[in-house]
Amino acid sequence: MTFDDLDTPCILVDAKRADSNLTKAQTYADKQGLKLRPHIKTHKLPLFAKRQLELGAVGITCQKLGEAEVMAGAGIPDILISYNIVGDAKLARLKKLHDRLTVTVCADHEAHIQGYADAFTDADHPLPVLVECDTGSQRCGVQSPEDALALAQRVAAAPGLRFDGLITYPPRGLVGVNDWFERAKHMLCQAGLPPRTLSNGGSPDLYHAHTVTHATEHRPGTYIYLDRMQVGYGLGTLSDCALTVLATVVSAPTADRFILDAGSKALTSDLCDAPGFGHIIEHPDAVIAVLNEEHGIVDASRCKSRVTIGDKIRIIPNHVCPVSNLFDSVHLIDGDALVETIIVAARGQVT
């Protein structure tokens, strides 16, 4: 059976290409003496999380507790939740996870630490906590190394918690991250709280991760599949992209327009620097100009070849992570051959 027999729209994952992307990153990290802790938000599949560990990752990263619960259920033994856990319901779930495996969390305010300290009181099995630092991406994180130290001391003072280090989601180009970590590390060491982990992240600058010399680990996510956005960042080429959306031409009302059965509920409305909502492999000059929910409206005015209703085409999405969250399953392929269909176990784990 080939993927052309599949009904559309659906997700195809070129398993060898994904594996090659994973291997390349692990080889790089090994060479640099950097630990990898891949983020599973991109694939949401225990199969690939296990493969990442097998290749040498020290553990995985999840963004949501629900993702961590799915991965723990599949036997993953070491999970960093790179997210502030807030509220009694989530703390109770975190406690259950922590009873079963190594789980590490984040904090960027004493409110988080208070929550953790109230829920975790066993000094013999403390909860590891990383202090999140805003090194320039202007998302979460304390604003200065001084604030990082103050929170580290709060963590260290709680019997049921263990200060493990710092974490950041860096700005593009990793600008300033190393200096930030250096200053914070110095202050922490002086205060008798040497960080064992300095965790940096992101796929765009994955192959520059070694320039953050103070980082001990890196958390890339999208590097497994790549997408148009990552290709724009220089992480690879279109032919390295492992995930495509298979779609069908359902209408061709004019010579310069055709319509695909993949709209914003399949490709998402995420944009990137390249034009349109995805790259059509078979028609590289076509532009997916407009997405309605279930229609991709393609400007074919610059296409060299014409389409026929019923043609199946493959799209490299702009941003692959939210796309794999929209489908209940992915189809692993090897060339044209359909190898296996897998349920996206952590799809829709929003909480």
| Binding flag, residue 108, a second copy (CB under 8 A) | yes
Closer to a second copy at the Cβ: 88 or 334? Answer: 88
| b/e sequence 285-299, b meaning 16+ C-beta within 10 Å | ebbbebbeeebbbbb
Question: HEC states along 30-81?
Answer: HHHCCEECCECCCCCCHHHHHHHHHHCCCCEEECCHHHHHHHHHCCCCEEEE
**Minimum distance from CB of 56 to a second copy (Å)?**
25
- Decide: 292 and 264 in contact? Cβ < 8 Å: yes
Pick from 35, 51, 90, 219: which binds a second copy (CB under 8 A)? 90
State the Cα–Cα distance between residues 41 and 346, nearest whole angstrom: 8
Stretch that binds a second copy, among 94-102, 104-112, 189-197, 203-211 (CB under 8 A): 104-112
**Minimum distance from CB of 293 to a second copy (Å)?**
6
Stretch that binds a second copy, among 160-168, 225-233, 236-244, 250-258 (CB under 8 A): 250-258
- Enter the DSSP assignment of 247: E
223 Cβ contact partners less than 8 Å away, ≥ 6 residues apart: 21, 22, 25, 38, 203, 206, 230, 235
Closer to a second copy at the Cβ: 216 or 247? Answer: 247
Closer to a second copy at the Cβ: 97 or 266? Answer: 266
- Decide: 262 and 8 in contact? Cβ < 8 Å: yes
| Binding flag, residue 111, a second copy (CB under 8 A) | yes
| Binding flag, residue 348, a second copy (CB under 8 A) | yes
Structure tokens at 304: 């060299």
| Contacts to a second copy from residues 255-284, by CB under 8 A | 257, 259, 261, 264-266, 268-271
Closer to a second copy at the Cβ: 92 or 123? Answer: 92
Q: What character string, x for contact with a second copy (CB under 8 A) and - otherwise, covers 2-41?
A: -----xxxx------------------------------x
Coil, helix or strand at residue 311: coil
292 Cβ contact partners less than 8 Å away, ≥ 6 residues apart: 263, 264
Q: What backbone torsions phi and psi does residue 167 show, to the nearest 5 degrees?
A: -140, 145
Residues near a second copy, by CB under 8 A? 7-10, 41, 63-64, 83-84, 86-87, 89-90, 108-109, 111-112, 132, 134, 138-143, 248-254, 257, 259, 261, 264-266, 268-271, 290, 292-295, 297, 308-310, 321-322, 325-328, 348, 350-351
